[in-house]
Each structure stands twice: as C-alpha cells, then as structure tokens.
Amino acid sequence: MSSNYSEKGQEGRRIEDKPKDLSNGLKFFGNRLCPYAHRSWWTAIEKGISMDYIHIDLGANYPSWYQEVNPSEEVPCLFDEGKRITESIIIDEYFEEKWSKQGTQLMPNDYVERAEVRRFINWFCSSGVMAPAHKLTRNQDPSTLR
C-alpha cells in the first residue's frame, strides 16, 4: 500500500474478485477518470495517507462484485477498518478530520473560514463545473476537445 503514485496509471490496482477482507486497513475504490474519485485520491495524497487503491472500471466493464462493496455502485468508496464511507466530499472531510495533524492542512482552523471553504465547494459542485469536468475526463476522442 502506498500513496506515492508518480505516473499515470498507478492510481489503482485492478483485481478480478471482491476483496476478501474489507475489515483491515484502508481500501479506496475509485476510477482515475472520475473527477469525484480523483478529488478524494488527491486529498489522500495531500494528507500523506497510505491506502490500498483498487481501480473500478466503469460502464460496460464494471465488475459485478462491486455492488456488494458499494450498493450505490458509485466511486469513490472508502473502507476504513470495515467501515464504509461514500461520496467524495464526505471522504475528503473524513481524511482531513482523521489525519488532521498529517500532511497538508486542507481546512482552516477558524469556523467562519471553514464555512466559507464549504460554501465554495458547494458552489463549485452545484454550479455546473463538475459535470463538464466529468464529461471531459470520460471523453476518449481528442478531436472533440478543440
């Protein structure tokens, strides 16, 4: 397990079957093309968190066993010592709170400033910025990016 991913494609390992034991360690299920999973992956990197990143193919190559891991079938999904946490913003705050003294401090100490950061995150996610970013990352045809 390592959070030291330095090259494209190292974001997660691929597995054929559901992990046998989700109750030990930190397991992160994501996809490098999903901006929501990517956001949580970068949060873990900034916090210096070591985790087992398991790549989940989306679309037609979606692993059938993943519904057992996360019934909503979305990424990201985090298991910390058997406890499931979903939704990227919630995972990001979990990382910041649990590893508050480690890595980069991502939230200010001041309550009002922290509220402003949360307001900005809410605006960014609800203003239509994330949806085009998601579409852009899923686009595999470079000619349509001009």
CA pair distance 35, 75, nearest whole angstrom: 10
CA pair distance 60, 125, nearest whole angstrom: 26
Q: Is 109 helix (H, G, I), strand (E, B) or coil?
A: coil
Catalytic residue among 26, 33, 34, 78: 34
- 77 catalytic? Reply is no
CA pair distance 105, 129, nearest whole angstrom: 24
The catalytic residue positions are: 34
